[in-house]
Structure 1
Amino acid sequence: MRKKYKHLFFDLDHTLWDFDRNSTESLKEIFSHFSLDLLGLSDPDLFVKSFLKINTALWDSFDRGHIHHSYIRENRFRMVFQELNVACPDDHRDIGEFYLQSLPKKNHLLDGALELLEYVSAQEYGIHIITNGFNEIQAKKIASSGIGHFFKNVVTFETANAKKPDSKIFEYAIQLARADKTDSLMIGDNWVADILGAKRAGLDAVYYNPAGLKFDETPTYDIRKLEELKLIL
């Protein structure tokens, strides 16, 4: 039976690499290393929850073109302290740098991610990454989690000079892979960046949607678990 798709383009964070779990570990290291309890923060879990919420909102603004990526790095921890009604420490930039050094060293993948990559690799699909993350950071994440050998190309907003949902980054990735849109499939968790971006670029898309979210438009495919992708391919 002829395969409908030959090339698979994965998002990285929240799709393969367990961003929340890895971030939680790094944030708890920060809480301890910088003695945030002495600033009046008694609950490390509250610190983690606040960061994840604010960071998600900032990256959503970045994906929509409302802010520059440097704004995220410079302001997210300041915004966390502000939300928690704690005076922002003078070393909040050091905290941000600690986070950037610690986070990419974490190696937790989402449930089923490794098994899925092994499966599609054995089926001889061309496997690629399209991410809005930074070159250096994403390369470290991929290396730390031991999945680099699966990917033929890793396309970031820096290498493509464009970010999802801009069609330019998808066009760049397709050209780099020497693929056709008709035999290419995007897999990601972000409705705007991954799914609408791919759709408007002319690609079929799999919405990795464990929460079962609903939108006005429909993706080509909607899955709750990564292993369900095997039923599509």
Structure 2
Amino acid sequence: MNNYEHIFFDLDNTLWDFEANSKDTLEELFETYLKKDLPEVEFNELFSAYVTVNGSYWNKYRHGKVSKEDLRVNRFHDTLSSFGLDEFNLAEKISEEYLKICPLKAKLVEGAMEILDHIVGLKIPMVVITNGFDEVQHIKMENCGLTPFFEAVVTSEKIGSKKPYPEIFQHAFSTVGAKAARSLMIGDNHDSDIVGANNIGMDSAYLKLGELPDDFRGRWIIEKLSELKEIV
């Protein structure tokens, strides 16, 4: 076991099941707004396209290449345009409805509650550090019961710095009195969570949901959150 004094979690796809909750939301919106205009398109085909476009926009957002507003609307506009539905007003409406509905979904990554209970039992303070939008992340956490587990929630939007850049980690450390050398970062995104932690001197546990990056830079690799019991 390792004597960590603070544990930092990413939120989306690490604790809160972003992909499942997003898919459920978009399927509702597909039935309401899109099915009649895209009769030949299956929902899973559209969702697959959206996942690719959304991932690209989030990568650009992390590196300051697009604004919050551009990300929110253009990920839908570009997805719909790829199916020949080039209607910006419709994309804006879907974005608006998505942001109302999705944060209220409550599916968690398998084992999330169990590992949080385990860490609470060890009396190790926990912090969420996320690149997600401030108001949305707090709604997600409150609605699915995550909020009481955490000493602090640090969002990139609130402090003006995103993972993997060091400022957001430094802010989180100062908020809870943590030290990089005695802290563990857990996340599913190698570029933001694992590289960011490595650059500032933290240990990290990479929740591997796909292929392992060729340039992997973390200390631990896990495929399920329950495996953290062997680390902390």
TM-score (norm 2): 0.95
CA distance, structure 2, for counterparts of residue 147 and residue 13 of structure 1 = 12
Superimposed CA distance per residue, residues 119-169 of structure 1 (whole angstroms, 9 cap, x where no aligned partner): 111111101100001111000100111111000000001222211011000
Write the distance in 2 (CA, Å) between the matches of 1:90 and 1:61: 23
| Contact 1:210/1:223, CA 8 A, preserved across alignment | no
1:95-118, Cα deviation, whole Å (9 max, x unpaired): 100000000000000111111111
Q: How big is the shift at 1:51?
A: 1.3
Q: Encode CA deviations 1:22-75: one digit per residue, 9 max, x unaligned.
A: 0011001101221x1221243122222211221111101212332222210121
Structure 1 segment 150-169 matched on structure 2, within 5 A? 150-169=149-168
Flag structure 1 segments of 5+ consecutive residues without an equivalent. none
State how 1:10-49 maps to structure 2 within 5 Å. Answer: 10-34=9-33, 36-41=34-39, 42-49=41-48
CA RMSD of aligned residues (A): 1.4
CA contact (8 A) 2:61 2:67 kept: yes
Q: Find the aligned partners of 2:88 and 2:164 in 1 and give their Cα distance.
A: 35
Match for residue 8 of structure 2? Answer: 9
Task: Please show how residues 88-167 of structure 1 align to structure 2 within 5 Å.
Answer: 88=87, 90-167=89-166
The one-letter amino acid paired with 1:128 is V
Between the aligned partners of 1:37 and 1:185, the Cα distance in structure 2 is 45
Q: CA deviation at 1:87?
A: 3.3
* Secondary structure in 2 matching 1:154: strand
What is the identity percentage for the equivalent residue pairs of Structure 1 and Structure 2?
35
**Alpha-carbon offset, residue 77 of structure 1:** 0.8
Query: What is the one-letter code of the residue matched to 1:8?
Result: I
Q: CA deviation at 1:208?
A: 0.8
Equivalence for 2:217: 218
Aligned residue pair count: 231
For 2:43 and 2:124, the matched residues in 1 are separated by 42
- 1:180-195 superposed matches below 5 A: 180-195=179-194
Moved more, 45-54 or 80-89: 80-89
